[in-house]
């Protein structure tokens, strides 16, 4: 199949000067007779952050699972940096540069921060488990893991067990793991869920500091976080994209007001104004 050339106005246009990293067209997920994701399209450019929002049951998690390769699709096409990955499984997509985080921490709680990230580096580089060390390779892996950990602000927690970390710090470790995979596109699944206000603020700043060679898609229920981070937003309802565009365009869209607030309540404030 050829790269996506969708012109659907519901698909957010990328930044004019930035090359595309991710192109999605007609992505569909069905569970029996239920269509959970209905022909969703998306285009994401280098350095951009795109948010997916919508009421509970809108299809956001199913869409994320389909993008990551964890959910079989009933139709559609996914192109990552010019390479079609529609038929790739989750591991193959991660190796190609499409990496996902989860709603709940997915770490080895009994291992240290360094050992958790080191395992991620080894998996990324395809290093097998060995009964004996190889000093040069091991030193390079450790250095790469430490670099990722320092980048997320946990240099002083290198040897701390993950079980001793706060919820926000565990999320930081997950970002370090992501960075260790050298991703092109990161899927953040409700990254600030369960965080305190201070942790949320710190984590949002961390996402903002990610390399501009990457792009990100974020599912997030905290709309303050969404409007702080997102360059563009798509709103899902009943599996369909009902609005997509800049934060200002989405904020003022009547269909979004209806989906979140119900008829007759469109005059109520849905989103706070956020200075960017």
Question: What is the structure's pLDDT at 52?
Answer: 95
Average pLDDT over residues 215-237: 94
Percent of residues, the chain, with pLDDT higher than 70: 81
Angle, helices 167-180 vs 135-151, to 10°: value is: 130
> What is the radius of gyration, based on Cα positions, of the chain?
19
Query: pLDDT: is 245 or 15 the higher one?
Result: 245
Out of 147, 182, 217, a domain closes at 182
The model's confidence at residue 5, banded by pLDDT at 50, 70 and 90, is very low
Average pLDDT over residues 79-108: 89
Lowest mean pLDDT among 29-33, 44-48, 136-140: 136-140
Residues 10 and 63 in one domain: yes
Residues 164 and 236 in one domain: no
Full strand arrangement of the beta sheet holding 215-219: 98-100, 185-189, 215-219, 49-53, 232-237, 240-245
- All residues at 6 or more sequence positions from 15 whose CB lies less than 8 Å from its CB, including other chains: 45, 47, 48, 231
Lowest mean pLDDT among 39-43, 101-105, 131-135, 151-155: 131-135
Whether the model pTM is above 0.85: no
**Which tokens go with 79?**
């192109």
Question: What is the structure's pLDDT at 106?
Answer: 75
Q: Assess if residue 225 is contained within a domain.
A: yes
Report CA dihedral (57, 7, 70, 19) to the nearest 10 degrees: -120
* CATH number of the domain enclosing 260: 3.40.50.300
Lowest mean pLDDT among 127-136, 153-162, 222-231: 127-136
β-pairing, 75-80 vs 240-245, is unpaired
């Amino acid at each position: 199949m050829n790269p996506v050339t969708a012109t659907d106005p519901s698909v957010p246009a990328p930044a004019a000067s930035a090359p595309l990293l991710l192109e999605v067209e007609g992505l569909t997920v069905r569970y029996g007779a239920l269509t959970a994701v209905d022909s969703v399209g998306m285009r994401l450019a280098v350095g951009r952050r795109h948010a997916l929002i919508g009421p509970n049951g809108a299809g956001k998690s199913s869409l994320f699972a389909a993008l990551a390769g964890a959910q079989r699709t009933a139709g559609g096409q996914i192109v990552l940096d010019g390479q079609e990955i529609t038929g790739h499984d989750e591991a193959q997509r991660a190796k190609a540069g499409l990496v996902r985080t989860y709603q709940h921490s997915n770490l080895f709680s009994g291992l240290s921060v360094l050992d958790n990230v080191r395992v991620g580096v080894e998996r990324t580089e395809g290093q097998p488990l060995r009964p004996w060390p190889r000093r040069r390779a091991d030193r390079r892996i450790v250095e790469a893991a430490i670099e990722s950990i320092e980048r997320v602000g946990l240099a002083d927690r290198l040897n701390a067990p993950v079980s001793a970390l706060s919820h926000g710090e565990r999320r930081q470790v997950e970002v370090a793991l992501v960075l260790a995979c050298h991703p092109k596109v990161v899927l953040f699944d409700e990254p600030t869920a369960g965080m305190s206000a201070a942790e949320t603020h710190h984590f949002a700043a961390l996402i903002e500091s990610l390399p501009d060679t990457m792009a990100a898609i974020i599912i997030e229920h905290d709309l303050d976080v969404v409007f702080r981070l997102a360059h563009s937003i798509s709103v899902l309802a009943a599996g369909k994209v009902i609005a997509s565009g800049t934060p200002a365009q989405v904020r003022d869209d009547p269909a979004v007001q209806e989906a979140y607030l119900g008829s007759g309540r469109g005059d109520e404030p849905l989103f706070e104004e956020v200075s960017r």
